[in-house]
Structures are given as C-alpha cells and as structure tokens.
Amino acid sequence: MEIRSTTDQDFDVFVDTVHAAFGRFPETPVEGGGLWWSALEIDRCMLARTADGRPVGTAATHAFELTLPGETLVPVAGVTAVGVLPTHRRQGVLSAMMRHQLTELRAGGDFLSVLLASEAPIYGRFGYGPATYTARLTVPRHQAALTVPRAHAVAQAPATGPDDGSVEVLRSAECGEILEEVYDRYRRAQPGALSRPHRWWALRAGQPPISPAPRYVAVHRGADGVPDGYASYSIGDSNTLTVDETIAVDDAVFTALARFVLGHDLVSQVVFRHVPPGHPLRWQLADIRAGEVGGDMDWLWVRLLDVPRALTARGWFTDGELVLDVDDPFLGEHGRYLLTVRDSKADCVPTDREPDLSLDVRDLGSVYLGGTAPSTLVRAGHIRAHRPGTAALADDLFRAERSPHCLHWF
C-alpha cells in the first residue's frame, strides 16, 4: 500500500474517495454542513492506494490552535475526513494511515492531535482519548423563567447580574465577520476550544452558524456597542427553537442571550445544543428541573505525541508532583516522567523513580484538558494508582479552571 499527500492533480480523487467511504454522493447535501471539505488544505490530505494504484483510504488534518487550561494557545493537528472504502475495511488500511499520519505530524513538530470520532470504538487503539464532552439542554417555554441571582445584592455582583448591553437579531449571511470576531475572543479563554480558520468562515464550509443553511443570529453587544456574544438559532417542527451555538465572552453575556431565546414568542421549547458539563444555565432556571439534559456525549478526542512537551505546555492550578508511567502501545513506546508543578508551571522529565500512576497514552489524552478526572479512570480500572491518595492528588493537579469544551465541528 502507498500512502502519500494529495496534490492539485488528485484532490478530486480524494474527495470522491471520502464520499464513497461515507456512502454519500458528492451532491447529497450534508446535514446543515454544505461543502465541508472545501475548507481542507490540499497538502494536509492523504490518500492510501493499493499496489495497483486504486484509491481506498483517506485522512486529512486541519491546522488549529487549541486552548489549553490556563488560557494557553498551542498548535494542534485536527484529524478529519478519515475513511476507507467499504470493500477494503478491516484489512489494516486505517491502521497504516494512522501510523503514517502520527509519524508525519511528529516529524513536522506537532505534539498534540485531536479529532471528533464518528464512532467511539475506533480511535482509542491509536492513542486518542475522549477529552471534552457536550450535551443538549431542553427547556419548555412555559418553565423558562430565570431566577434572580442570589448574590445580586452583594457589592461584587457576579457575572450573572443585570445586563447593560443590547441584543439585535441578524441573519447569519449578514453578520459573518461579527461572528468570526466574537468566536475568536471566546475561544481564547475557553479550555478545549479550537480556532476556526478564516477560510472556514469565508467559505461558509462549516455547520451552523456559517453554513448556507439560513439562521437567525441574536448578536449581543456590550454597553460600549462592541459585539461580545451571539446565539445562532432556527425555529423548526413543533415550534422548537434550536440554538446551534451560544458563544459568549463571559457568563453575563451568555445569560443575556439565554434570556433572549427563552423569551421568544410562539415557541414550545428551546433546545440549547452544545452546553458544557457543569454549565450554570440549569442553576439559573427558576425551576431546576425545567432543564432536561440529553445527548450527553464525547466531543474532542486528544492524542499526545510528545508527553513532556504537552504536559509543560498547559497551565496548572495546584502545586504537586507525580510520577507517571505512560504506555503507548500503538507506537510501541513507553516513558516514565516526573511531573512537578510549581507556581502554575510544570516541569516534566524522565525518571526512574517508582510510579504514582501507570496509564495508557489514551487515558492521558482524556485527563489532559481537565475534563475527565483521573480518579474516574482509576475507578474504571484503566489507570493504576500505586498508592492511596494519588488518584485524589492527580484530580487536583489535572483540574482546569473550568470544564473544557469544544463545539467546533470538523
């Protein structure tokens, strides 16, 4: 089998092969997505061909920036368009492409790769672990009242206090630049968020809010008139108002946008897509049972390609030290590292000290952004804690300033 990057000459073959692998004709409109592949960069796509030259497999990467805990921005490879023709499955084509891709990414200096998994059982074997989670929150309109914040009266009013900004409703086609700017402000402070390349906005190649599917967008502006949040929504069957994404630079802006969509007339219920775990919106409803959480699922999967580099790149919030014994079965590697955190920064060096935790690199990917507690994976039997108390220490150490969350689809 030959695996190599596409060129202008065979990019059409790549696109045809992706469609055949997913079983969709190119002209089939992708659910809300449009021409999603038009945002790909040709030299970051690869084709696998059989010995007789037949294209059978595809994979690609986007160049993204990922926000790590501590508002640290790092480059990551976003793996996408992975497919193998139905006639050539379970013969090792994907495994060969993954090996090729991981080797190439490392050679190019990448230390993290990320993806969204079409099916959960596929990517763990290649060292990826689910690292962020997302859910839907459905609120019946007749139970949509928000409560008065209890800390409202205190001098340091929390972000959920009264809103001195304004909301304007625009059509998605007329506010692309506003959305791009607001999203960029938001994602820089949100652990787990990915940058959205300008070409993604310009080509309208993504899912809502920017896809050709029409959407209303409630744009929030602060008292100074500067846009600082938006909610992209549509009203569909049974008068359900679905908010594709609510992007806000802080909690007060999120609350103002939530108040706006929850107050929409002629609507039976409001469905907020992409609500992060632990989001305060449920607590802001006067009736905490009014918000029904559904569609709880993994979203961004993370793969560490260079353990010390990845661990020293993120911000940390608790001092401490741990010896991590990390196994990488897919790449046939093993390393033992002393992780020392002091004053929000980590040092990570090889050691021969006895380990505190033994773990697979996929599990390190899951805990890396702070969205999965190491103790959960200890209790699940995936991470081995060698001493009592180490799981709790690891929980403290790996925690992020808030739940990591990603809502970019790629």
Ligand X SMILES: CC(=O)SCCNC(=O)CCNC(=O)[C@H](O)C(C)(C)COP(=O)(O)OP(=O)(O)OC[C@H]1O[C@@H](n2cnc3c(N)ncnc32)[C@H](O)[C@@H]1OP(=O)(O)O
28 vs 95 by CB, closer to ligand X: 95
123 is catalytic: yes
Q: What is the layout of strands, in order, in the sheet containing 292-298? A: 166-171, 216-221, 227-235, 240-248, 269-275, 133-140, 292-298
**Window of 93-101, 165-173, 315-323, 349-357 that interacts with ligand X by CB under 6 A:** 93-101
Question: Is 168 annotated in some ligand binding site?
Answer: no
Neighbours of 387 (CB within 10 A): 11
Question: Is 91 annotated in some ligand binding site?
Answer: yes
- Interface with ligand X (CB under 6 A), residue total 23
Which 168-197 residues touch ligand X, going by CB under 6 A? Answer: none
Question: Is 95 annotated in some ligand binding site?
Answer: yes
Task: Give the nearest distance from C-beta 7 to ligand X in angstroms.
Answer: 21
Which 20-39 residues touch ligand X, going by CB under 6 A? Answer: 21-22
Q: Among 45, 82, 275, 367, which residue interacts with ligand X (rule: CB under 6 A)?
A: 82
Print the SS3 string covering the chain: CEEEECCCCCHHHHHHHHHHHHCCCCCCCCCCCCCHHHHCCHHHEEEEECCCCCEEEEEEEEEEEEEECCCEEEEEEEEEEEEECHHHCCCCHHHHHHHHHHHHHHHCCCCEEEEECCCCCCCHHHCCEECCEEEEEEEEHHHCCECCCCCCCCCCCCCCCCCCCEEEEEEHHHCHHHHHHHHHHHHHHCCCCECCCHHHHHCCCCCCCCCCCCCEEEEEECCCCCEEEEEEEEECHHHEEEEEEEEECCHHHHHHHHHHHHCCCCCCEEEEEEECCCCCHHHHECCHHHCEEEEEEECEEEEECCHHHHHHHCCCCCCEEEEEEEEECCCCEEEEEEEEEECCEEEEEECCCCCCEEEEHHHHHHHHCCCCCHHHHHHCCCCEECCCCHHHHHHHHHCCCCCCCCCCCC
Question: Is 294 annotated in some ligand binding site?
Answer: no
**Window of 120-128, 213-221, 313-321, 360-368 that interacts with ligand X by CB under 6 A:** 120-128
- Marked catalytic residue, from 233, 254, 398, 410: 410
Under the binding rule (CB under 6 A), the answer on residue 91 touching ligand X is yes
Under the binding rule (CB under 6 A), the answer on residue 92 touching ligand X is yes
Q: Among 27, 31, 52, 119, which residue interacts with ligand X (rule: CB under 6 A)?
A: 119
Task: Give the nearest distance from C-beta 381 to ligand X in angstroms.
Answer: 20
Q: Among 39, 94, 324, 367, which residue interacts with ligand X (rule: CB under 6 A)?
A: 94
Q: Are 67 and 73 in contact (CB under 8 A)?
A: yes
Under the binding rule (CB under 6 A), the answer on residue 90 touching ligand X is yes
Under the binding rule (CB under 6 A), the answer on residue 406 touching ligand X is no
Of 179, 189, 197, the closest CA to residue 77 belongs to 197
Q: Among 77, 79, 311, 369, which residue interacts with ligand X (rule: CB under 6 A)?
A: 79
Question: Is 315 annotated in some ligand binding site?
Answer: no
Which 253-312 residues touch ligand X, going by CB under 6 A? Answer: none
**Window of 87-95, 103-111, 236-244, 304-312 that interacts with ligand X by CB under 6 A:** 87-95
Name residue 321's beta-bridge partners: 340
How far is Cα 170 from Cα 217, in angstroms, rounded to an integer? Answer: 5
Q: Are 303 and 114 in contact (CB under 8 A)?
A: yes
Question: Is 84 annotated in some ligand binding site?
Answer: yes
24 vs 334 by CB, closer to ligand X: 24
Question: Is 83 annotated in some ligand binding site?
Answer: yes
Task: Give the nearest distance from C-beta 120 to ligand X in angstroms.
Answer: 8
Under the binding rule (CB under 6 A), the answer on residue 252 touching ligand X is no
Under the binding rule (CB under 6 A), the answer on residue 100 touching ligand X is no
**Window of 118-126, 199-207, 249-257, 288-296 that interacts with ligand X by CB under 6 A:** 118-126
218 vs 369 by CB, closer to ligand X: 369
94 vs 377 by CB, closer to ligand X: 94
Question: Is 402 annotated in some ligand binding site?
Answer: no
Under the binding rule (CB under 6 A), the answer on residue 89 touching ligand X is yes
Question: Is 94 annotated in some ligand binding site?
Answer: yes
Residues annotated as binding site? 82-84, 90-95, 118-119
Q: What residues act catalytically? A: 123, 410
Residues annotated as binding site for acetyl-CoA? 82-84, 90-95, 118-119
The residues binding ligand X (CB under 6 A) are 21-22, 79-84, 89-95, 115-119, 121-122, 125
